């Protein structure tokens, strides 16, 4: 009897297992068929997308960066393509033409695209208060406020130039202390550049040896590494709540708590007659709109509430540190590979600036070659190969194709600035493409948009251009950068995180 009951139990278990297996197979077939039949009609062309996987396998097995693969597909299928970027995701529209990008992102554009959050970004922290990720009218107001705040803090004025040159002197002193020994310039340059946005945002700079400063920079590096287009965190955002991304969660928590502490200190010591930084300007903006609302019953809502000030400051701190720092690192690694470029920069510095004073923004018009080198670095190795993502807010027609509502839009800046149809031999580093025939004037190119374009172009473009010129000229005025003895020249392949960064390298800074 017991054996019979055991046999019946086993048969029951087997039937249950088979039913579950059948249900799983049916569900998988249903998902695949559903995905196949719900594909929007008349999408732009693109490579064949596997059911469920999309083009994920082709992108990850190519051995190239995603922006390079997407640029190659643009050459094959057209400047507007549809691509399945991640498993189980809908296809995205990839734009690789600057004129189309400007049309989509212009302030008067007829097409309706809006900022889209990445799957991971929305899990990391609340978006409210963000300068980068805000949408609609909030985004317009945030941009207006941000540009005004930068002007109040000296962007475009002599006061900021003096601040950058002062920081450049600190950087030069620390590099001199290496005494021609090989060193990794990454952290030093990040500290110097970060201190500019820190002084604008927090009201003060950090000492280079401050351990909290190093932890802030390390934490933001982890955030950028895990929110890139090719990162596992963005591909599989559910991992954020698993041990795999525990370090990321800890880094976000540290940055948030630090900035919240600074904000609270500012709120406690706020003086409406003395604005120290952007935090004070934000507090004033919020208080002003609250007072209007209390007087008339209704009034304009604050751009950022008190409890979300930290989020906007985190945006400024991260973006203001990473992009300019890595452009300078790309510049140094490139002159290691092309020493003749460094010689020409130094010759121009000798002729225009000399050695008895620091460079000034007033020198920029007289230094076309140096400006051309900086532009060519941004073209060939843009730290932002993509803009932040967008999504459509309604269906529209684009170049004869139907772009559905709610579909992701990726703007491939790298493809635009490395398009062989636009640039002669784009893979070559050639500052001359930005110079007139006599080498005395800069040439503007429509397809050169390293800071993006339109209503969501980089908020800190003016600040970044000033920093790049002054830091670069200060460094090349005082040093000649050389590879360590026996070291090979950099390959310039780079690492794609949220931004495109050079691989770690060491250098000798020989004092001039």
3-state secondary structure 255-320: HHHHHHHHHHHHHHCCCCCCCCCHHHHHHHHHHHHHHHHHHHCCCCCCCCCHHHHHHHHHHHHHHH
Greater model confidence, 509 or 59: 509
The annotated binding site is made up of 458
Between CA 182 and CA 505 the distance in angstroms is 10
Compute the average pLDDT of residues 412-422: 96
pLDDT in tens, 279-303: 999 999 999 888 876 665 555 556 5
- What percent of the chain lies above the pLDDT cut of 90? 69
Q: What is the pLDDT of the chain when averaged over all its residues?
A: 89
Q: Enter the pTM of the model.
A: 0.89
The continuous run of DSSP H or E covering 108 comes out as none
Reply yes or no on whether the pLDDT at 304 is more than 80. no
Compute the average pLDDT of residues 473-482: 98
What is residue 60's predicted lDDT score, i.e. its pLDDT?
85
What is residue 37's predicted lDDT score, i.e. its pLDDT?
46
What is residue 508's predicted lDDT score, i.e. its pLDDT?
97
Reply yes or no on whether the pLDDT at 54 is more than 80. yes
Reply yes or no on whether the pLDDT at 31 is more than 90. no
Q: How confident is the model at residue 236 (pLDDT cuts 50, 70, 90)?
A: confident
What is residue 364's predicted lDDT score, i.e. its pLDDT?
96
User: φ and ψ at 42, to 5 degrees?
Assistant: 60, 30
94 touches 70 (CB < 8 A): yes
Reply yes or no on whether the pLDDT at 188 is more than 90. yes
Structure tokens at 117: 């959050």
DSSP 452-498: --GGGS-TTHHHHHHHHHHHHHHHHHHEEEEPPTTPPPP----EESS
229 touches 66 (CB < 8 A): yes
Question: Taken in order 308, 309, 310, 313, is the CA torsion positive or negative?
Answer: positive
pLDDT in tens, 344-378: 999 999 999 999 999 999 999 999 999 999 999 99
Structure tokens at 213: 């400063």
Reply yes or no on whether the pLDDT at 427 is more than 60. yes
DSSP letter for 272, please.
T
What is residue 173's predicted lDDT score, i.e. its pLDDT?
97
Compute the average pLDDT of residues 185-209: 96
Compute the average pLDDT of residues 475-482: 98
- The b-or-e profile of 231-251 (16+ CB within 10 A means b, else e) is bebbbbbebbeeeebeebbeb
Three-state SS at 72: helix
Reply yes or no on whether the pLDDT at 246 is more than 80. yes
Q: How confident is the model at residue 71 (pLDDT cuts 50, 70, 90)?
A: very high
Contacts of 203 (CB under 8 A, 6+ apart): 266, 276, 277, 279, 280
What is residue 315's predicted lDDT score, i.e. its pLDDT?
93
Q: How confident is the model at residue 34 (pLDDT cuts 50, 70, 90)?
A: very low
The annotated binding site for heme is made up of 458
Structure tokens at 42: 């008349």
What is residue 13's predicted lDDT score, i.e. its pLDDT?
53
């Amino acid at each position: 009897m017991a054996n019979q009951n055991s046999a019946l139990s086993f048969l029951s278990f087997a039937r249950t297992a088979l039913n579950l297996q059948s249900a799983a197979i049916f569900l998988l077939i249903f998902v695949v068929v559903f995905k196949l039949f719900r594909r929007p009609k008349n999408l732009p062309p693109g490579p064949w997308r596997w059911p469920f996987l999309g083009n994920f396998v082709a992108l990850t097995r190519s051995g190239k960066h995603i922006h390079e693969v997407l640029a190659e597909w643009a050459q094959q299928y057209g400047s507007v393509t549809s691509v399945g970027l991640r498993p189980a995701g809908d296809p995205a529209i990839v734009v690789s033409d600057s004129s189309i990008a400007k049309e989509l992102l212009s302030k008067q554009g007829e097409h309706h695209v809006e900022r889209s959050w990445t799957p991971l970004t929305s899990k990391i922290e609340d978006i409210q208060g963000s300068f980068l990720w805000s949408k609609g009218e909030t985004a317009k107001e945030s941009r207006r406020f941000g540009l005004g705040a930068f002007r109040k803090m000296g962007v475009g004025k002599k006061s900021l130039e003096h601040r950058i040159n002062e920081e450049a002197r600190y950087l030069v002193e620390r590099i001199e202390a290496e005494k021609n020994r090989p060193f990794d310039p990454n952290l030093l340059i990040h500290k110097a550049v970060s201190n500019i946005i820190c002084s604008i945002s927090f009201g003060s700079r950090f000492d280079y040896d401050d351990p909290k400063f190093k932890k802030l920079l390390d934490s933001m590096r982890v955030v950028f590494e895990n929110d890139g287009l090719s990162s596992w965190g963005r591909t599989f955002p559910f991992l954020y709540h698993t041990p795999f991304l525990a370090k990321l969660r800890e880094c976000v928590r540290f940055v948030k708590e630090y900035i919240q502490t600074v904000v609270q200190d500012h709120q406690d010591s706020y003086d409406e007659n003395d604005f120290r930084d952007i935090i004070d300007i934000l507090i004033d903006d919020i208080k002003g709109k609250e007072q209007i609302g209390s007087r008339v019953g209704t009034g304009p809502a604050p751009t950022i509430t008190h409890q979300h000030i930290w989020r906007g400051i985190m945006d400024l701190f991260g973006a203001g540190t990473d992009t300019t720092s890595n452009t300078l690192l790309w510049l140094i690694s490139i002159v290691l590979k092309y020493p003749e470029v460094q010689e020409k920069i130094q010759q121009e510095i000798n002729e225009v600036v000399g050695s008895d004073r620091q460079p000034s923004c007033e020198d920029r018009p007289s230094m076309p070659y140096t400006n051309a080198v900086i532009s060519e670095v941004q073209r060939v190795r843009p730290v932002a190969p993509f803009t932040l993502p967008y999504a459509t807010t309604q269906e529209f027609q684009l170049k004869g194709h139907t772009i559905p509502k709610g579909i992701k839009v990726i703007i491939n800046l790298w493809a635009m600035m490395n398009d062989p149809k636009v640039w002669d031999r784009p893979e070559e580093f050639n500052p001359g493409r930005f110079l007139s025939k006599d080498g005395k004037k800069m040439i503007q190119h429509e397809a050169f948009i390293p800071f993006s374009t339109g209503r969501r172009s980089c908020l800190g473009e003016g600040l970044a251009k000033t920093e790049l010129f002054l830091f670069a000229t200060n460094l090349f005025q005082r040093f000649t950068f050389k590879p360590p003895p026996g070291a090979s020249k950099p390959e310039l392949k780079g690492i794609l995180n949220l931004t495109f960064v050079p691989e770690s390298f060491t250098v000798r800074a020989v004092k001039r």
